[in-house]
């Protein structure tokens, strides 16, 4: 869905939309929606600039950072975005500043892609690291066994300090 600025009456409008996960597709290679994304926003036009304030909520599936098991998370995000037309951006003195520094996005001057907003906001709202549970033991880097459900006899990099101390004792004995 795109917001066509020409169709905004009096330069502003409210919109609400529900995106099915398959419409949005994967947000990135690690994040997929498991429930429809609901987005509500107000669009305001000020001269050539456009302000979009709103809220998005959905649920996503990501991978546990340690064991790679799928983890589901609720995602909610409030956003306040500013768009300036590409032509204006290039010709103005602000062009010296990067898009990021200004916290604005450049658009074609005619319409704004709501799907893009949803993807971007979900991406920003998902924490960089997610664990399936606080004390997830992860997978053994040697044999790949899930250490939450089984054990292996591989030498682990991070040996329990108590065992390390015992080992050291043994070595000095012999
Ligand atoms: Zn895990
Ligand atoms: Zn192992």
| pLDDT tens figures, 106-165 | 899 889 999 999 999 999 999 989 999 999 999 998 999 999 999 998 875 555 666 666
99 pLDDT higher than 60: no
Which residues have their alpha-adjacent CB atom under 5 A from ion ligand 2? 140, 142-143, 152, 154
Q: What is the pLDDT of residue 103?
A: 67
Instruction: State the ligand closest to the CA atom of 149.
Output: 1
pTM of the model: 0.76
% of residues, the chain, pLDDT over 70: 80
Ligand 2 centre distance from Cα of residue 102 (Å): 49
Ligand 2 centre distance from Cα of residue 130 (Å): 23
**Burial class of residue 59 (count of CB atoms within 10 Å of its CB; 0-12, 13-18, 19+):** middle
Ligand 2 centre distance from Cα of residue 67 (Å): 13
Instruction: State the ligand closest to the CA atom of 133.
Output: 1
Instruction: State the ligand closest to the CA atom of 135.
Output: 1
Instruction: State the ligand closest to the CA atom of 148.
Output: 1
**Burial class of residue 145 (count of CB atoms within 10 Å of its CB; 0-12, 13-18, 19+):** middle
Ligand 2 centre distance from Cα of residue 98 (Å): 47
Ligand 2 centre distance from Cα of residue 142 (Å): 5
The average pLDDT across 32-54 equals 94
Per-chain mean pLDDT for the chain: 86
3-class secondary structure per residue, 75-116? EEEEEEEEEEEHHHHHHCHHHHCCHHHHCCEEECCCEEEHHH
Q: Token pair 């040996």 is at which residue?
A: 159
Q: What is the pLDDT of residue 83?
A: 92
The average pLDDT across 96-113 equals 74
Q: What is the pLDDT of residue 35?
A: 97
Which one, of 109, 73, 76, 72, lies nearest residue 90 by Cα?
109
DSSP string across the chain: -EEEGGG-GGGEEEEEEEE-HHHH--SBTTBEESSPEEEEEEEEEETTEEEEEEEEEEEEEEE-TTT--EEEEEEEEEEEEEEEEHHHHHHSGGGGS-HHHHT-EEE-SSEEEHHHHHHHHHHHHS-S---SSTT---B-TTT--BTTT----SPPSS--HHHHHHHHHHHHH-
Instruction: State the ligand closest to the CA atom of 156.
Output: 2
């Amino acid at each position: 869905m795109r917001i066509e600025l020409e169709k905004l009456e009096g330069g502003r409008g409210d919109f609400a939309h529900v995106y099915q996960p398959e419409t949005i597709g994967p947000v990135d290679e690690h994040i997929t929606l498991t429930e429809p994304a609901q987005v509500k926003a107000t669009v305001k036009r000020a001269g050539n600039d456009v302000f979009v304030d709103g809220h998005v909520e959905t649920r996503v599936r990501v991978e546990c950072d340690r064991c790679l098991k799928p983890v589901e998370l609720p995602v909610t995000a409030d956003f306040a975005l500013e768009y300036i037309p590409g032509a204006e951006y290039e010709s103005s003195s602000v062009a010296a500043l990067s898009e990021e520094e200004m916290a604005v996005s450049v658009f074609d001057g005619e319409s704004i892609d709501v799907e893009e907003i949803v993807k971007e906001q979900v991406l920003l709202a998902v924490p960089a690291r997610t664990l399936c549970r606080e004390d997830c033991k992860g997978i053994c880097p040697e044999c790949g066994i899930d250490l939450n459900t089984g054990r292996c006899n591989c030498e682990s990099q991070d040996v329990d300090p108590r065992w390390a101390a015992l080992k050291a004792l043994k070595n000095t004995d012999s």
